[in-house]
Structure 1
Amino acid sequence: MRRGRRKSSEVWSFFTSPSAPDHENKKTVICCLCKEKLSFHGTTTNLSVHLKAKHPSHLTSSGYEQATSSTVGPSAQSAAKTKTTQRMISDYSRPLMNQHRAAKITSLITNVITGDMRPINLVQGRNFVKLINFLEPGYTVPSRQSFTRNIEDNYCILKVKVKNELAAADNISLTEDLWSSCRMDCYFGVTAHFLVNDTIQSRVVATKQITESHTAENIALWVDLLLADYEIPPERIVSVVTDNGANIVAAMRLCSASYNWQHIRCVAHTLQLCVHDCLKNDPIKRAIGAARRLVQHVKQSTKAMSEIRQLHQSTRTENEPQNFDLIIDCQTRWDSTHDMLERLCSHQWKIRQYLSSLPRTRAAILELRDGHWIVIQKLIGLLEPLKTSTKYLQGEKYISISSVYPVVKGLCGKYSEIDAADDIFEKNFKLSMHTSLQTRFAEVLNFNNETPNLFHKSTLMDPHHKGKYFTHQNKVMVRNAIIEDMGEARAARPIVECQQSDIASTSTSALSNLDTILAYGKPRDSDSPHSSEDEQGGCTLEMEWYNKQKCPETDTITWWNANKANAPLLYKCVKKYMITPATSAPAERSFSSAGLTSAGLRSRLTGEHVEHLNFLHCNMDKM
């Protein structure tokens, strides 16, 4: 007789076979707990399902719970001898979680994705889910699609908040730029700058994916659509800051003709164009080319980097950084040429010692000549004022537009001054830089048609500068133009007197070497006394009061917030003209975060989701 296969599954502790003649074909079994008949076709799957559905209280950690001897057959009685303490089903179920707490956790995870620029599929990661289950066992991580919907909802909510902020602002300044992602998708970025509660605010309002041609007409149309989307009347836009690209300059010319906006070319970008003009000199080109070739070799060779780092660690002083690294210049990165040369010179002798260990033919190709080192060292000193000016003017948390005229004029004065110790190389560089500054900043330096522009007005309204960088004739001209604007402000809206507040004690963050540059911009007659008749000619009481105030120790906006009650009409002009950034750096910064958003692990994002994520990341403080 053939013996049947041994029944080893624990399921059979709860089921028995019926006795003949009921079980003629042996295709049914009986549950020992409820006496229900079930079909059996060689597998215990349906038997396990029955136990889980009908008798969950008998489940154990291994899958089943042995029944008591009083309710089961002989096979269950033998198993009952080894059974452990019975555990309840609540031991295996997750504790209930408050819905409000679960929603808060979901919101915080969404903020991690947008704020820290993490890929959305982070929530599907096995170890991330384990971490959440350990920290909060009762919380179930929603799906990736749920977080995508949360991001879209947060974008709509935050966009409404930004709209309300812009609606409350009397005047707005924009910065604009175009950018291409790693997938070569083009984006049009716009940031808005305004005063809210006497505080400068900056908001990223658009990172739109663009598929049309980048013509001036299309760019002007995109700006119009953006204003309509945010319900911003064009007359509330005071100025637009862009780089010097021909298409975007032409687009702003169209907008200025339609809405009378003031187009400001990015001061930092224009300064870099002046630098590029001067670096075209043959000796400079050869020295920078040799330096770039050496830096590329070191950065691309693991052996070279390892040996120089060992030399650096063995000879490092307390003032030197712990890690060694070199910088390669990039034509579109501001001051990168200065930084490359400065870092190379700081490690000059370590690099020379490494080159001496190479074969002579290889070292001869990489080694810089003594003449190259001399040119590089002189270039570092000649480019330093430009780097200082660029670094200061690209800030967006403080007023920078009022310093453009003094800084540019100071740079012109500094590079026009020829020292007796200057050699022919330094003289030629200074002459070339002075010529380039005069040419490219003609709009800033010149008073065409006796009409002061935004640079001149903002400089006079800055209590740190006032009129000390103007000639007396130009100072009177700018003052009269501001008085005319004050009259328009009075006619446009009645002035509500404000309570005067205390001046904040925050100290100014101006650099000492920047003050040196500004000193070159003062004309000879700026400090000479003028008659009281000249000072009062055509001047209102507010302007007279302002002219008598001493240079404050606080920053510009803090000083004006404390003194706006003394000159409410002049303060309106301050709010109109001083909100303009000096550079397009805010738009550049928004593209830096957009590049991290759409790169690497998130390269499959749609243009719409890139905009949502970048908008939430850059405006996170409003969430």
Structure 2
Amino acid sequence: MPEHDRATLGGLCNSGAAKMSAVWRFFRVSEQDIKHAVCNTCSANVLRGGSKVRNFNTTNLITHLKAHHPDKYTEYMTVKEETRTAPRTPAKPAASQPIDELLQKSKKFDRNSPKATAITAKVMEFIALDDQPFSVVEDIGFRRLVEHLEPRYTIPSRRYFSDVALPELHSLVETRVHKLINDNVTGISLTTDIWTSDVSPVSILSLTAQWIDNNFELQKAVLHAKECSGSHTSSALSMAFENMFETWKISKENIHVVLRDNARNIAKAMVECGVPSLPCMAHTLQLAVHDGVFSQRSISDVVAVSRRIVGHFKHSHLASSRLKTIQTEVGLQPKVLQQDVSTRWNSTFYMLQTLLEQKRAIGAYAADFELPATLTASQWSLIENIVTLLAPFEQLTREICQADALASNVIPSVNALKRLLSKSARSDFGVKTSKNALLEAVNTRFSDIYTEPLYCVATMVDPRYKDRYFAAEVKLQAHEMLQSEMEKASSERSEQTSELQERPREKRARTDDQATCSLFDMYDEILEETLTPQENTQTTTEVQGFLSEAPVARTESPLQYWNNNKSRFPTIAKVAKKFLSAPSTSVDSERLFSATSNVINEKRNRIACDKAEMLLLVKKNLPLLLKNTD
């Protein structure tokens, strides 16, 4: 007999026995075997008098109380006598509740009934959204919970959820995403990346989509988390992408751009596939920081020593405990030192930053205990200057990795970063060479952004930036790119006269000292130099009207702006709907892989890739379905 059925039957017997005999105040039915009762006083198992339910009695239970618990036996006899002499309460007439209603309430749901189907669907959503294994439906705690909430519902098997419920839910979600993509989406942006599992010999190729709907709201969906077996050659990846586009019926003409990493194989695959692509800005920043900073010998030596110090506390619980005590003694907030990851430059930044914050505690620890390495006074000073130098890069990385970051951020961000690096500051001591190398690396890595229409036009139609972040020699070219896209968006160009509303901007004090400037100050500084746009006779009245207005604040939403102003600048709005759909990074794919590691983990390292993909697509896309059904 299944465990949950035994527990249910035992509970019923317990309930019935309690009505017949007061002895059940001192016993309970065994959850392991209903043929036994468990003494509440000594936890002994006592036979109930037979192997079948109809033979059960309470004689052995009463004998046990009399032999082992005389005080409980006396209490039992008292309760029994009181129960025997108490006046009986007349039973309610059976006709007070129809017998059919009573039977209906105790009858199990048919699996295909609307109520059972709805509960099964919610259980499947719970499994997908909360990364639960299919085996959760067999766990005794979960089954008891469902039994308590709805006794008439019978939970299907794990195989039913895996082979029936999941494909059904996936089909519903997939249909919804298909409809959203095919409804008036003329420009869709994609991200892609490749992930390899640590617990299973499998590689996953991702494809996520992002587009702007007719209300200028940003929509996102996961299209694929497909197994990528064999060698990851450009031709193999190109064929995989062709199959993905075909599956979702996405025309290549509607693909605005694909954001990818800087690997040559995937860049070449995009060329072979015939779709435009751009490198992830976060990956490019990673390469620039490595070229300009961590490739310097003095800095790489400091980073190596720092890793050894942090590793000492990471691998020794005793050392970590001692450091925590010292942190409290010197008045610092106890904080765990952060270990860096070589492929993430900002993790190295955070490691150096936490070391700098805990400098006093680490010094006190080194005075009493042994460390595998120590930092000299000059190295501590170098760490401080490195943190100051890289702080704007960390600030920019956090901004471009946000969910609403757009490709239009790239040109303004790079210009602000270059301007900040070109300023001299007191903190340059010891890192002046690295700072110059970093500026050169940024110039080299981002040299082609001013000739890339996908970046230039996106910046032009973003009401926060417009043409204010282009140098004079490339501004005219950016205007021509925008004009070309407007001609594509509308065969009949209509010249419209817009009411110009020039908004005054607050002037900021200029300074060449980086110690008092942040990256965001550079945005304002650039705008102050270009308050009045250069007039271009080649552009239409609509473009001139749009560019003549002062940019909105960087904190405002460009999509909300266009939803409010699409009737004033209709042709530019069409271009904005396409070009502002592109993100600045491939972070969406990396976030997908974080979810993938929760699906393919040590508990589910043998899950089939097709099941894993369905779970991921349901988890990520289900909100699009629930938005219209809940």
With structure 1 as the length reference, what TM-score do the two structures score? 0.76
CA contact (8 A) 1:399 1:557 kept: no
Number of the residue aligned with 1:481: 481
AA partner of residue 488 (structure 2): E
Number of the residue aligned with 1:560: 562
1:370 aligns with 2:366: no
AA partner of residue 139 (structure 2): G
CA contact (8 A) 2:258 2:276 kept: yes
1:102 aligns with 2:116: yes
Pairing of 1:141-160 with structure 2 (within 5 A): 141-148=155-162, 149-160=164-175
The gaps in structure 2 that reach 5 residues or longer are 1-49, 57-83, 92-98, 500-516, 626-630
Number of the residue aligned with 1:71: none
Which shows bigger deviation, 303-312 or 428-437? 303-312
Q: Secondary structure at 1:204's aligned position in 2? A: strand
CA contact (8 A) 1:410 1:522 kept: no
CA contact (8 A) 2:257 2:278 kept: yes
CA contact (8 A) 1:470 1:522 kept: no
Q: Secondary structure at 1:552's aligned position in 2? A: coil
**What is the alpha-carbon distance in structure 2 between the residues aligned to residue 571 and residue 514 of structure 1?**
29
1:180 aligns with 2:196: yes
Structure 1 position 316, deviation (Å): 4.8
AA partner of residue 406 (structure 2): S
The structure 1 residue matched to 2:216, chosen from 184, 198, 206, is 198
Number of the residue aligned with 2:54: 64
AA partner of residue 477 (structure 1): Q
Structure 1 position 557, deviation (Å): 0.6
The structure 1 residue matched to 2:313, chosen from 295, 298, 308, is 298
Number of the residue aligned with 1:340: 351
1:382 aligns with 2:389: yes
Q: Deviations over 1:305-362 (max 9, x none)?
A: 1122233345556xx4xx531211112235111111111221222222223222xxx3
Number of the residue aligned with 1:412: 418
AA partner of residue 293 (structure 1): R
CA contact (8 A) 1:175 1:242 kept: yes
Structure 1 position 62, deviation (Å): 7.0
Q: Secondary structure at 1:368's aligned position in 2? A: coil
1:280 aligns with 2:295: yes
CA contact (8 A) 1:411 1:520 kept: no
Number of the residue aligned with 1:118: 132
Structure 1 position 138, deviation (Å): 2.2
**What is the alpha-carbon distance in structure 2 between the residues aligned to residue 406 and residue 293 of structure 1?**
38
**What is the alpha-carbon distance in structure 2 between the residues aligned to residue 62 and residue 138 of structure 1?**
26
AA partner of residue 308 (structure 2): R
CA contact (8 A) 1:407 1:517 kept: no
Number of the residue aligned with 2:263: 245
Structure 1 position 264, deviation (Å): 0.8
CA contact (8 A) 1:95 1:137 kept: no
**What is the alpha-carbon distance in structure 2 between the residues aligned to residue 339 and residue 325 of structure 1?**
12
AA partner of residue 179 (structure 2): N
CA contact (8 A) 2:238 2:270 kept: yes
CA contact (8 A) 2:385 2:427 kept: no
**What is the alpha-carbon distance in structure 2 between the residues aligned to residue 234 and residue 422 of structure 1?**
48
Structure 1 position 156, deviation (Å): 1.5
**What is the alpha-carbon distance in structure 2 between the residues aligned to residue 485 and residue 309 of structure 1?**
60
Q: Secondary structure at 2:378's aligned position in 1? A: helix
Q: Deviations over 1:500-527 (max 9, x none)?
A: 9xxxxxxxxxxx9442243465696x34
**TM-aligned CA distance change 1:331 to 1:422, over 3 Å:** closer
CA contact (8 A) 2:411 2:456 kept: yes
Structure 1 position 265, deviation (Å): 0.5
Structure 1 position 489, deviation (Å): 1.3
Number of the residue aligned with 2:440: 435
**TM-aligned CA distance change 1:276 to 1:185, over 3 Å:** same
Number of the residue aligned with 1:350: 361
Q: Secondary structure at 1:417's aligned position in 2? A: coil
With structure 2 as the length reference, what TM-score do the two structures score? 0.76
Pairing of 1:200-219 with structure 2 (within 5 A): 200-219=218-237
Structure 1 position 171, deviation (Å): 0.8
CA contact (8 A) 1:461 1:574 kept: yes
RMSD of equivalent CA atoms: 3.2
**What is the alpha-carbon distance in structure 2 between the residues aligned to residue 494 and residue 190 of structure 1?**
36
Structure 1 position 134, deviation (Å): 2.3
AA partner of residue 481 (structure 1): M
Structure 1 position 474, deviation (Å): 2.4
Q: Secondary structure at 2:154's aligned position in 1? A: coil
**TM-aligned CA distance change 1:137 to 1:268, over 3 Å:** same
Task: Could you list the structure 1 runs, at least 4 aligned residues long, displaced by more than 4 angstroms after superposition.
Answer: 93-98, 313-317, 519-524
Q: Secondary structure at 2:431's aligned position in 1? A: helix
Structure 1 position 575, deviation (Å): 1.1
AA partner of residue 442 (structure 1): S
Structure 1 position 120, deviation (Å): 1.1
Number of the residue aligned with 2:623: 621
Number of the residue aligned with 2:238: 220
Number of the residue aligned with 1:576: 578
1:458 aligns with 2:458: yes
Structure 1 position 170, deviation (Å): 1.1
Structure 1 position 102, deviation (Å): 2.6
Q: Secondary structure at 2:576's aligned position in 1? A: helix
Number of the residue aligned with 2:59: none
Q: Deviations over 1:367-423 (max 9, x none)?
A: 222222111111111111101111111223x25211100111111121122236632
**TM-aligned CA distance change 1:297 to 1:94, over 3 Å:** farther
Structure 1 position 480, deviation (Å): 2.4
**What is the alpha-carbon distance in structure 1 between the residues aligned to residue 346 and residue 169 of structure 2?**
38
**What is the alpha-carbon distance in structure 2 between the residues aligned to residue 443 and residue 523 of structure 1?**
25
The gaps in structure 1 that reach 5 residues or longer are 1-59, 67-83, 501-511
**What is the alpha-carbon distance in structure 2 between the residues aligned to residue 325 and residue 421 of structure 1?**
27
CA contact (8 A) 1:401 1:580 kept: yes
AA partner of residue 351 (structure 2): M
**What is the alpha-carbon distance in structure 2 between the residues aligned to residue 100 and residue 326 of structure 1?**
54
**What is the alpha-carbon distance in structure 2 between the residues aligned to residue 122 and residue 465 of structure 1?**
51
Q: Deviations over 1:284-310 (max 9, x none)?
A: 011111111111110110101112223
Number of the residue aligned with 2:325: 310
**What is the alpha-carbon distance in structure 2 between the residues aligned to residue 513 and residue 130 of structure 1?**
57
Structure 1 position 481, deviation (Å): 2.1
